[in-house]
Structure 1
Amino acid sequence: MNKTLLALALGGLLSFSSTTVIASPQESIQSSVEYSQFTSKRQVVDQLLSDAVTAFKSPARISHAGFTAKMPSNMEIVTNRLLEAYQLEPYRTDLLISAANAQIYNKNADRAIDLFEQVLDVAPQDVDAHSYLAVWQHFNGNEAESQKHMQTLKTLNEGRATDIQRIFDTVNRIVATPLKETLGKERKGNTAIITLGYALNPDGSMHEILIQRLEKTLAFAKKQPNSMIVLTGGVPKNHKTEGKLMADWLVDHGIARDRIIEDNYARSTVENALYSSYALARHNIDHATIISSASHVRRGQTLFEIASWQTGPKDITFDTVSAADKPLDDLKVPSQGELLGIYRDALRTYGMWSYRSYPLEQR
């Protein structure tokens, strides 16, 4: 593609406004600009989406207590490129949904809500849009608005409404449960210990936070000698993965390797839950204890419970043990940032993809 012509098209023709004008049902939405003199509209949209992917995959990252996400500035670029593409293709509501979820990652629930509302302007019966709005209005404390969307969901898709309410109930129960650092009494039955990974150092060595989690795992594994151990984490650094290094560390400290299942593929807490849930199902686990940092375990438990809805075992239960990255007294009440991450990833684990605009697609 001629980059000069494309730059003219992007610079001269695309001026983004946060307010999208929606045509009446009888009025066909058509672009008022003739693109053929510059380049095809499809090429412009493709380039905008390519720019969004580039920003999304930028190596600039922040990481704490197992949460790895793109820098907010990157997500602002992602949002803007998606919305510029939407201005050109106003039937592509997937672009609006992807842009809204980028703002959730940007911790701007208000702007995300505005964008989800624009989806309903186009498609007032969109089940996903009503689901997102029920959740994020609930997160913002706007219960009347949340319940309005829940009532609409019940008429459109009663099963979805039931599932969203189940997510609310699950989160409420988990955040109301006190965090604990100590190990409880030995459990009977088919039990498992699940240790969540943490981003490796650039040289491929384990971060101190991950070693703290392993120390908890080691103590628990000795107390529960019959428990299976699931180690999950697959973001490679210097050709090494968290799962493999965690397994080697435990074996070096006396744990039999045949007790260990490694997940060397999960790139996020969502994938930790999705991939490990099949190991729990395969071994018909009755109860699993999740070990992670104190600021991370509530999100981990929420996602593992939701993942088990699809995989089973049907009556599996979960609890958590915290490696104290922060004093537990400081974490009694989850912060808004922690709650946002819990709800965002709960929806992803449930199956609602955050990004659904090729080539930017991600659960």
Structure 2
Amino acid sequence: MKQFHKLSVIAVSLFAAVQAYSATQSVEVLQPQVEYQQLVNQRQVIDDLLAQAVEIQKSPARVSDAGFTAKLPSNMERIADILLTAHKLEPYRIDFVLGAANAYIYNGNVDRAIELYKQALEVAPDDVKNNMYLASWYRYKGDDKESGNYLKHLEKIAPEKAATLKQVFATIDKVTKLPIVDKSETKLTAQDAIITLGYALNPDGSMNEILIQRLQKTLELAKQNPEALIIVTGGVPKNNQTEANLMKKWLIEQGIDAKKIFADNYARSTVENALYSRYALAHHKIKHAILISSGSHVRRGQTLFELATRDSGPQGITFEAVAALDKPLAELQKVSAKDLLGIYRDSLIVVGLPMFNSGVLRD
């Protein structure tokens, strides 16, 4: 009992001493280096900027020109300006700079895009995606020396990505050297497929004449090869219709067995045509496929399908392209700069380099 009393006296004495010391000392409270409200306001501004970019990206959702599907250039310029404004608020967010650069790619202004890629590289010189962009777009411009410099750096920092990029370049080179044809002598079996790419519907939900031309070419080949699987792909809705549904319905009305038609109603772009359809090809163990699209678009489609199926299979699948002629056949033999830009841009997306990757702003 006495021991407990002594401990109590000691505790009370210590408490009194601490209280007395505290009364004579001022307690310093650490202040945050940046006002919390300032951080909240800055974050809100960036969120609002990104929301504006998303709205611009959505309107219009899709604009097509002879098989070339993209956002309006004026919209892309506005998105680039917004992302660069956001970057001024957050200087280390190089995803904003890369997004702005890619918006310029959509516009065909590759020189301005390269300036921005190199600006981002000053912050993160070993950024893998940025080095892939620079290697690709210098190659597109025909500057193999500069392209090779970035490719060599990639081999040091990310050899697997360098190998992927070499595959992209080899595939582009191969496909762009192939002649455009509007017929095929290949005899297809049940292990082969005909793939028809969609095209934006009219505002009232009816099929555009370009899409009907593609279907007419599909019908021609389907009658020559009745055992082949038919894949129709396109999922941008207009007036509660999708391209693939209307394509399938049209082919059935022309006498094609519905059981032979697989409709992908989700793809919103040529990239997604390839990414989504590849699993139908893998499931049915397709060995060879004929790709049908407009003459000015079919090279891009073949390139993307070849790249996409390298990851998913089926292993050893081969592709050929047949054009629904939207231009004279002789005129289509030369690859335009616009077509080549679309091939490079979409090929990079297929192998995992998004155009936009900033929060809510996505491809």
Q: Confirm or deny a common fold (TM above 0.5).
A: yes
Distance in structure 2 (CA, Å) of the matches to 1:158 and 1:328: 41
Q: Give, in whole Å, the separation in 1 of the partners of 2:282 and 2:306.
A: 12
CA contact (8 A) 2:231 2:263 kept: yes
In 2, Cα distance between the equivalents of 1:170 and 1:135? 13
Change (3 A) 1:146 1:43: same
Q: Tell me the amino acid that sits aligned with residue 110 of structure 1.
A: D
Matches within 5 A, 1:58-97: 58-59=59-60, 62-97=63-98
User: Which residue of structure 1 lines up, in the alignment, with residue 248 of structure 2?
Assistant: 247
When the two chains are superposed, the root-mean-square deviation of aligned CA atoms in Å is: 1.7
Which AA in structure 1 matches 2:93? R
The 1:212/1:304 distance shift into structure 2, 3 A limit, reads same
Q: Kindly state the Cα deviation for residue 311 of structure 1 after the two structures are TM-superposed.
A: 0.6
- Deviation of the 1:36 alpha carbon: 5.5
Worse-matched range after superposition: 78-87 or 68-77: 68-77
d(CA) in 1 for partners of 2:224 and 2:295?
21
Task: Name the counterpart of 1:115.
Answer: 116
Preserved contact between residue 56 and residue 78 of structure 1 (Cα < 8 Å)? yes
Contact 1:65 1:198 in 2 (8 A): no
Specify the alignment match of 1:162 in structure 2. Answer: 163
Q: Deviations over 1:61-104 (max 9, x none)?
A: 53123322211111011000000000110111111111111111
Measured at CA, do residues 159 and 204 of structure 1 come closer, stay the same or move farther in structure 2, by a change above 3 Å?
Answer: same
* 2:213 aligned with 1:212: yes
Once the two structures are superposed, residues 12-55 of structure 1 have per-residue CA deviations (whole angstroms, 9 ceiling, x without a partner) of xxxxxxxxxxxxxxxxxxxxx99968971111111111111121
- In structure 2, the residue matched to 1:357 is 358
CA contact (8 A) 1:291 1:297 kept: yes
More displaced 10-residue stretch of structure 1: 143-152 or 44-53: 44-53
Q: Name the structure 2 match of 1:223.
A: 224
Q: Does structure 1 residue 182 correspond to structure 2 residue 183? A: yes
Superimposed CA distance per residue, residues 269-293 of structure 1 (whole angstroms, 9 cap, x where no aligned partner): 0000000000000001000000000
**Residue type of the alignment partner of 1:324:** L
Aligned partners of 1:254 and 1:60: how far apart in 2?
33
Task: For 1:72, give the aligned amino acid.
Answer: P
Q: 1:323-334 to 2 correspondence within 5 Å?
A: 323-334=324-335
Distance 1:97 1:253, change over 3 A: same
Which 5+ residue runs of structure 2 have no aligned equivalent? 1-33
**Contact 1:299/1:342 (8 A) holds in 2:** yes
Q: What is the letter of the counterpart of residue 176 of structure 2?
A: V
Distance 2:344 2:307 in 1: 11
Alpha-carbon shift at residue 106 of structure 1 (Å): 1.2
Identity of aligned residues (%): 53
Q: 1:187 deviation in Å?
A: 3.5
CA contact (8 A) 1:66 1:293 kept: yes
Q: Which residue of 1 aligns with 2:279?
A: 278
Q: Contact 1:269/1:300 (CA < 8 Å) preserved in 2? A: yes
Name structure 1 gaps, 5 residues minimum: 1-32
Does the CA contact (< 8 Å) of 1:303 and 1:346 recur in 2? yes
Distance (whole Å) between structure 2 residues aligned to residue 57 and residue 302 of structure 1:
27
Decide which structure has the larger Cα Rg and report it. 2
**Aligned pair in 2 of structure 1 residues 34, 141: CA closer, same or farther (>3 Å)?**
farther
Structure 2 counterpart of 1:256, which letter? D
Q: Distance in 1 between matches of 2:65 and 2:231?
A: 22
Instruction: Specify the alignment match of 1:320 in structure 2.
Output: 321
Q: Is the 2:214–2:294 contact (alpha carbons within 8 Å) kept by the matching residues of 1?
A: yes
Q: Supply the distance in 2 between the matched residues of 1:97 and 1:301 (Cα, whole angstroms).
A: 27
Instruction: Count matched residues.
Output: 330
Match of 2:258, as an amino acid? R
- Structure 2 contact 99–356 (Cα < 8 Å) conserved: yes
CA 1:244/1:61 → structure 2, altered by over 3 Å: closer, same or farther? Answer: closer
Cα distance 1:147–1:38, how it changes in 2: closer, same or farther (>3 A)? Answer: closer
Partner Cα distance (1:157, 1:60) in 2: 35
Compare the two structures and name the one with the higher helix fraction: 2
Supply the distance in 2 between the matched residues of 1:164 and 1:61 (Cα, whole angstroms). Answer: 28
Stretch of structure 1 that moved more, 33-42 or 123-132: 33-42
Asked whether 1:47 is paired with 2:51, we answer no
Q: Is the 8 A contact 2:188 2:227 kept in 1?
A: no
String of CA shifts for 1:185-233, please: whole Å, max 9, x gaps: 3145610000000111111111111111111101100111110000000
Per-residue Cα deviation, 1:148-197 (whole angstroms, up to 9, x for no partner): 00000000111111111111110111010000011213145610000000
> How many Å apart are 1:135 and its aligned residue?
0.3
Residue in 1 aligned with 2:101?
100
Distance in 2 separating the partners of 1:275 and 1:39: 40
Residue matched to 1:309: 310
CA–CA distance in structure 2, aligned partners of residues 191 and 252 of structure 1: 23
Cα shift readout 1:109-157 (whole Å, capped 9, x = no counterpart): 1111111111210001111100000000000111110000000000011
Offset from partner CA, 1:270-325 (integer Å, 9 cap, x none): 00000000000000100000000000000000000111011101100000100000
1:189–1:286 contact (8 Å) kept in structure 2:
no
